[in-house]
Structure 1
Amino acid sequence: MAATNLAKLALKYGPIVYTLAQKYGPQVAEQLLKQREPAQRLVAARRERGTARKQALAHADSVVEGTVQQVFHGGQAYWVVFSRNEPVGTHPHTNIPFDALLLNADPARRARPEELRRTVHLPRRPGR
Protein backbone atom coordinates (compact mmCIF):
# COMPACT_ATOMS: atom_id res chain seq x y z
CA MET A 1 0.00 0.00 0.00
CA ALA A 2 2.86 2.36 0.82
CA ALA A 3 4.51 1.55 -2.50
CA THR A 4 1.33 2.54 -4.34
CA ASN A 5 1.17 5.88 -2.56
CA LEU A 6 4.86 6.47 -3.25
CA ALA A 7 4.36 5.73 -6.94
CA LYS A 8 1.40 8.14 -7.13
CA LEU A 9 3.45 10.88 -5.45
CA ALA A 10 6.38 10.26 -7.80
CA LEU A 11 4.13 10.55 -10.86
CA LYS A 12 2.42 13.67 -9.51
CA TYR A 13 5.45 15.62 -8.24
CA GLY A 14 8.30 14.07 -10.24
CA PRO A 15 8.29 16.57 -13.11
CA ILE A 16 8.14 19.51 -10.69
CA VAL A 17 11.04 18.21 -8.62
CA TYR A 18 13.04 17.54 -11.78
CA THR A 19 12.65 21.09 -13.14
CA LEU A 20 13.43 22.64 -9.75
CA ALA A 21 16.52 20.45 -9.40
CA GLN A 22 17.74 21.59 -12.81
CA LYS A 23 17.09 25.23 -11.98
CA TYR A 24 18.33 25.41 -8.37
CA GLY A 25 20.62 22.38 -8.11
CA PRO A 26 23.89 24.20 -8.90
CA GLN A 27 23.06 26.94 -6.37
CA VAL A 28 22.29 24.38 -3.67
CA ALA A 29 25.53 22.51 -4.38
CA GLU A 30 27.52 25.77 -4.20
CA GLN A 31 25.93 26.68 -0.85
CA LEU A 32 26.69 23.25 0.57
CA LEU A 33 30.34 23.57 -0.44
CA LYS A 34 30.58 27.06 1.09
CA GLN A 35 29.13 25.78 4.37
CA ARG A 36 31.51 22.83 4.41
CA GLU A 37 34.68 24.97 4.20
CA PRO A 38 34.46 26.67 7.64
CA ALA A 39 33.60 23.36 9.27
CA GLN A 40 36.62 21.70 7.68
CA ARG A 41 38.88 24.53 8.88
CA LEU A 42 37.51 24.14 12.41
CA VAL A 43 38.07 20.38 12.39
CA ALA A 44 41.61 20.83 11.04
CA ALA A 45 42.42 23.40 13.73
CA ARG A 46 41.12 21.10 16.48
CA ARG A 47 43.08 18.17 15.07
CA GLU A 48 46.24 20.27 14.87
CA ARG A 49 45.82 21.40 18.46
CA GLY A 50 45.52 17.80 19.64
CA THR A 51 48.44 16.75 17.49
CA ALA A 52 50.65 19.48 18.99
CA ARG A 53 49.91 18.17 22.49
CA LYS A 54 50.77 14.60 21.51
CA GLN A 55 53.97 15.73 19.80
CA ALA A 56 55.00 17.74 22.87
CA LEU A 57 54.41 14.76 25.15
CA ALA A 58 56.43 12.50 22.87
CA HIS A 59 59.21 15.10 22.69
CA ALA A 60 59.27 15.42 26.49
CA ASP A 61 59.55 11.64 26.78
CA SER A 62 62.62 11.67 24.57
CA VAL A 63 64.65 14.25 26.55
CA VAL A 64 66.34 14.04 29.95
CA GLU A 65 63.91 14.92 32.77
CA GLY A 66 61.39 16.15 30.23
CA THR A 67 58.43 18.31 31.24
CA VAL A 68 55.85 20.29 29.31
CA GLN A 69 53.91 23.46 29.96
CA GLN A 70 51.06 24.97 28.01
CA VAL A 71 51.41 28.69 27.39
CA PHE A 72 49.36 31.15 25.37
CA HIS A 73 50.73 33.84 23.09
CA GLY A 74 48.53 35.99 20.88
CA GLY A 75 45.49 33.81 21.54
CA GLN A 76 47.31 30.70 20.33
CA ALA A 77 48.14 27.78 22.61
CA TYR A 78 51.70 26.44 22.56
CA TRP A 79 53.26 23.52 24.39
CA VAL A 80 56.79 24.29 25.56
CA VAL A 81 59.02 21.27 26.17
CA PHE A 82 61.71 21.49 28.85
CA SER A 83 64.76 19.34 29.45
CA ARG A 84 65.60 19.79 33.11
CA ASN A 85 64.90 23.54 33.41
CA GLU A 86 65.84 24.64 29.90
CA PRO A 87 63.22 25.06 27.13
CA VAL A 88 64.14 22.92 24.14
CA GLY A 89 61.15 23.14 21.82
CA THR A 90 57.59 24.27 21.15
CA HIS A 91 54.66 22.51 19.57
CA PRO A 92 53.27 23.72 17.21
CA HIS A 93 56.56 25.11 15.95
CA THR A 94 56.93 28.88 16.16
CA ASN A 95 59.67 31.46 15.68
CA ILE A 96 58.65 33.31 18.85
CA PRO A 97 61.58 33.26 21.31
CA PHE A 98 61.22 31.23 24.49
CA ASP A 99 61.60 34.41 26.58
CA ALA A 100 58.48 35.91 25.03
CA LEU A 101 56.47 32.70 25.39
CA LEU A 102 57.47 32.15 29.01
CA LEU A 103 57.27 35.81 30.10
CA ASN A 104 54.35 35.39 32.51
CA ALA A 105 54.32 31.61 32.76
CA ASP A 106 54.32 29.95 36.16
CA PRO A 107 57.13 27.35 36.38
CA ALA A 108 55.13 25.44 39.00
CA ARG A 109 52.61 24.55 36.27
CA ARG A 110 55.06 22.33 34.39
CA ALA A 111 54.07 18.71 34.30
CA ARG A 112 55.69 15.44 33.42
CA PRO A 113 54.21 13.64 30.39
CA GLU A 114 52.93 10.77 32.54
CA GLU A 115 50.79 13.21 34.54
CA LEU A 116 49.17 14.68 31.43
CA ARG A 117 48.37 11.53 29.52
CA ARG A 118 44.67 10.89 29.30
CA THR A 119 43.92 7.36 30.34
CA VAL A 120 40.59 5.92 31.25
CA HIS A 121 40.48 3.12 33.78
CA LEU A 122 37.26 1.17 33.58
CA PRO A 123 36.14 -0.75 36.64
CA ARG A 124 36.32 -4.50 36.27
CA ARG A 125 33.31 -6.65 36.89
CA PRO A 126 33.56 -8.80 40.00
CA GLY A 127 34.42 -12.42 39.35
CA ARG A 128 36.61 -11.81 36.32
Structure 2
Amino acid sequence: MEIQRHGIILNVEHFDECVAFYKDLFALPILFSKIEGDFKLTCLALGETYLMIETEGVANTSGKSITENATKLRFNVADIDLALKTVCDYGIAAHIVKNAWGSVINIVDPDGNRVGIRDEIGFK
Protein backbone atom coordinates (compact mmCIF):
# COMPACT_ATOMS: atom_id res chain seq x y z
CA MET A 1 0.00 0.00 0.00
CA GLU A 2 1.34 3.41 -0.94
CA ILE A 3 -0.02 6.19 1.25
CA GLN A 4 -0.45 9.46 -0.61
CA ARG A 5 -1.34 11.66 2.34
CA HIS A 6 -2.16 11.02 5.96
CA GLY A 7 -4.03 12.91 8.61
CA ILE A 8 -6.09 12.98 11.76
CA ILE A 9 -9.88 13.28 11.95
CA LEU A 10 -11.24 14.91 15.09
CA ASN A 11 -15.01 14.66 15.62
CA VAL A 12 -16.31 17.51 17.77
CA GLU A 13 -19.55 18.88 19.14
CA HIS A 14 -18.52 22.56 19.25
CA PHE A 15 -17.45 22.69 15.62
CA ASP A 16 -16.99 26.45 15.02
CA GLU A 17 -15.16 26.94 18.31
CA CYS A 18 -12.82 24.00 17.67
CA VAL A 19 -12.01 25.15 14.12
CA ALA A 20 -11.19 28.62 15.45
CA PHE A 21 -9.08 27.14 18.28
CA TYR A 22 -6.80 25.13 15.98
CA LYS A 23 -6.78 27.70 13.18
CA ASP A 24 -6.09 30.72 15.36
CA LEU A 25 -4.05 29.39 18.29
CA PHE A 26 -1.80 27.11 16.23
CA ALA A 27 -1.96 29.14 12.97
CA LEU A 28 -3.11 26.12 10.94
CA PRO A 29 -4.28 27.25 7.50
CA ILE A 30 -7.63 26.04 6.19
CA LEU A 31 -7.28 23.72 3.19
CA PHE A 32 -11.04 23.41 2.57
CA SER A 33 -14.44 23.25 4.26
CA LYS A 34 -17.65 21.38 3.41
CA ILE A 35 -21.20 21.53 4.72
CA GLU A 36 -23.79 18.86 3.89
CA GLY A 37 -26.97 19.40 5.89
CA ASP A 38 -26.06 19.22 9.58
CA PHE A 39 -22.65 17.68 8.83
CA LYS A 40 -19.68 20.05 8.64
CA LEU A 41 -15.98 19.53 8.16
CA THR A 42 -12.96 21.77 7.90
CA CYS A 43 -9.56 20.47 6.88
CA LEU A 44 -6.52 22.30 8.29
CA ALA A 45 -2.92 21.93 7.13
CA LEU A 46 -0.82 20.31 9.84
CA GLY A 47 2.73 20.23 8.56
CA GLU A 48 2.85 17.66 5.78
CA THR A 49 -0.37 16.08 6.98
CA TYR A 50 -3.80 17.43 7.94
CA LEU A 51 -6.17 17.84 10.85
CA MET A 52 -9.76 17.37 9.71
CA ILE A 53 -12.34 18.67 12.15
CA GLU A 54 -15.80 17.16 11.70
CA THR A 55 -19.11 17.37 13.52
CA GLU A 56 -20.75 14.36 15.24
CA GLY A 57 -18.47 14.38 18.30
CA VAL A 58 -19.36 14.67 21.97
CA ALA A 59 -17.92 17.40 24.18
CA ASN A 60 -16.85 17.38 27.79
CA THR A 61 -15.84 20.99 28.25
CA SER A 62 -14.26 20.34 31.64
CA GLY A 63 -11.74 18.14 29.84
CA LYS A 64 -11.98 14.55 28.64
CA SER A 65 -10.29 11.83 30.61
CA ILE A 66 -8.00 9.33 28.89
CA THR A 67 -10.84 6.80 28.98
CA GLU A 68 -13.14 9.27 27.20
CA ASN A 69 -10.51 10.14 24.59
CA ALA A 70 -7.28 8.13 24.54
CA THR A 71 -5.76 10.41 21.90
CA LYS A 72 -3.83 13.58 22.71
CA LEU A 73 -2.77 16.01 20.00
CA ARG A 74 0.83 17.20 20.42
CA PHE A 75 2.36 20.34 18.96
CA ASN A 76 6.14 20.71 19.30
CA VAL A 77 7.48 24.27 19.49
CA ALA A 78 10.92 25.87 19.45
CA ASP A 79 10.11 28.31 22.30
CA ILE A 80 7.94 26.92 25.11
CA ASP A 81 7.89 30.27 26.95
CA LEU A 82 6.56 32.07 23.87
CA ALA A 83 4.02 29.27 23.43
CA LEU A 84 2.80 29.80 27.00
CA LYS A 85 2.41 33.53 26.37
CA THR A 86 0.46 32.80 23.16
CA VAL A 87 -1.84 30.34 24.97
CA CYS A 88 -2.45 32.80 27.83
CA ASP A 89 -3.06 35.67 25.38
CA TYR A 90 -5.65 33.43 23.69
CA GLY A 91 -7.48 33.36 27.04
CA ILE A 92 -6.49 29.93 28.34
CA ALA A 93 -5.08 29.59 31.84
CA ALA A 94 -2.03 27.35 31.51
CA HIS A 95 1.44 26.71 32.86
CA ILE A 96 4.60 24.85 31.88
CA VAL A 97 5.22 21.44 33.42
CA LYS A 98 8.91 20.48 33.48
CA ASN A 99 9.77 16.79 33.23
CA ALA A 100 13.01 14.85 32.85
CA TRP A 101 12.09 14.30 29.17
CA GLY A 102 11.17 17.95 28.46
CA SER A 103 8.66 20.70 29.17
CA VAL A 104 5.00 20.67 28.19
CA ILE A 105 1.89 22.83 28.37
CA ASN A 106 -1.28 20.77 28.77
CA ILE A 107 -4.56 22.34 27.66
CA VAL A 108 -7.91 21.24 26.25
CA ASP A 109 -9.74 22.43 23.14
CA PRO A 110 -13.33 23.77 23.30
CA ASP A 111 -14.66 20.17 23.25
CA GLY A 112 -12.36 19.04 26.07
CA ASN A 113 -9.95 17.13 23.82
CA ARG A 114 -6.47 16.89 25.32
CA VAL A 115 -3.76 18.98 23.64
CA GLY A 116 -0.08 19.15 24.56
CA ILE A 117 2.46 21.77 23.53
CA ARG A 118 6.00 20.48 24.00
CA ASP A 119 9.43 22.00 23.70
CA GLU A 120 11.25 20.73 20.63
CA ILE A 121 14.53 20.23 22.54
CA GLY A 122 13.91 16.55 23.22
CA PHE A 123 13.46 15.81 19.52
CA LYS A 124 16.77 17.24 18.29
TM-score, with structure 2 as normaliser: 0.24
Structure with the largest fraction of helix: 1
Higher-RCO chain (CA-CA 8 Å, sequence separation at least 6):
2
Structure with the largest fraction of strand: 2
Larger Rg: 1
TM-score, with structure 1 as normaliser: 0.23
